[in-house]
Amino acid sequence: MKYKVIICLLLAIVFSACKKSNDAVPSSASIVGSWKLAESYNITIAGTQKTEADIAKPILLNFNTSLYSEATSGTVTRSGTYLLLDKYQYYPGYYASHVLKTDTVIRGTYAIHVGKPDTLLINSINQGPDNGSGSVYLRVK
């Protein structure tokens, strides 16, 4: 009986001393980091068409504090500066908030959902019930 108690105590010490691996990407509400395309969608009068990302040709968006790059299968296809606009007038009297602008192009509205993993949504600005498009990205680092 005494040996069983000692063995149980030793096992408890061994298991509590083991280092837990944390390979998870830290969550953040910041756009800075790398994002991998998960899916895109188009909204038409006929309904919503979702397209899963091609795993053979991954698309990555990378953002630092002022620059971005977009790469397909490791080859950079676009790069330049970006801005996150709090308020953008897309038509006289019509405004959108949380707008992503890359170089001189308005990419759309963006939203970051913190989770495991974080999700970046980029949607067309004037999305309606029968028109619009968007993309869903997952944080990779």
Q: What is residue 26's predicted lDDT score, i.e. its pLDDT? A: 60
- The 8 Å CB, 24+ separation contacts for 54-63 are 60/34, 60/35, 60/36, 60/140, 61/34, 61/35, 61/37, 61/120, 61/137, 62/33, 62/34, 62/35, 63/31, 63/32, 63/33, 63/34, 63/35
Would 6 be classed as within a structural domain? no
Q: What is residue 27's predicted lDDT score, i.e. its pLDDT? A: 67
| Residues 50-60, mean pLDDT to the nearest whole number | 95
DSSP 27-96: P-S---EEEEEEEEEEEETTEEEEEE--TTS-EEEEE-SSEEEEEETTEEEEEEEEEEEEEEEEETTEEE
Average pLDDT over all residues of the chain:
85
Checking if the pLDDT of 40 tops 90, the result is yes
Distance CA 94, CA 54 (A): 35
For the chain, how many structural domains are there in total? 1
List 14's β-bridge partners, or say none: none
Would 120 be classed as within a structural domain? yes
pTM to 2 decimal places: 0.77
CATH of the domain at 88: 2.40.128
Q: What is residue 19's predicted lDDT score, i.e. its pLDDT? A: 45
Would 60 be classed as within a structural domain? yes
Q: Domain limits at 129?
A: 23-139
12-32 pLDDT, tens digit per residue, is 544 444 444 444 556 678 999
Would 18 be classed as within a structural domain? no
Confidence of residue 120 (pLDDT cuts 50, 70, 90): very high
Q: Which residues contact 125 (CB under 8 A, 6 or more apart)?
A: 88, 90, 96, 99, 106, 108, 109
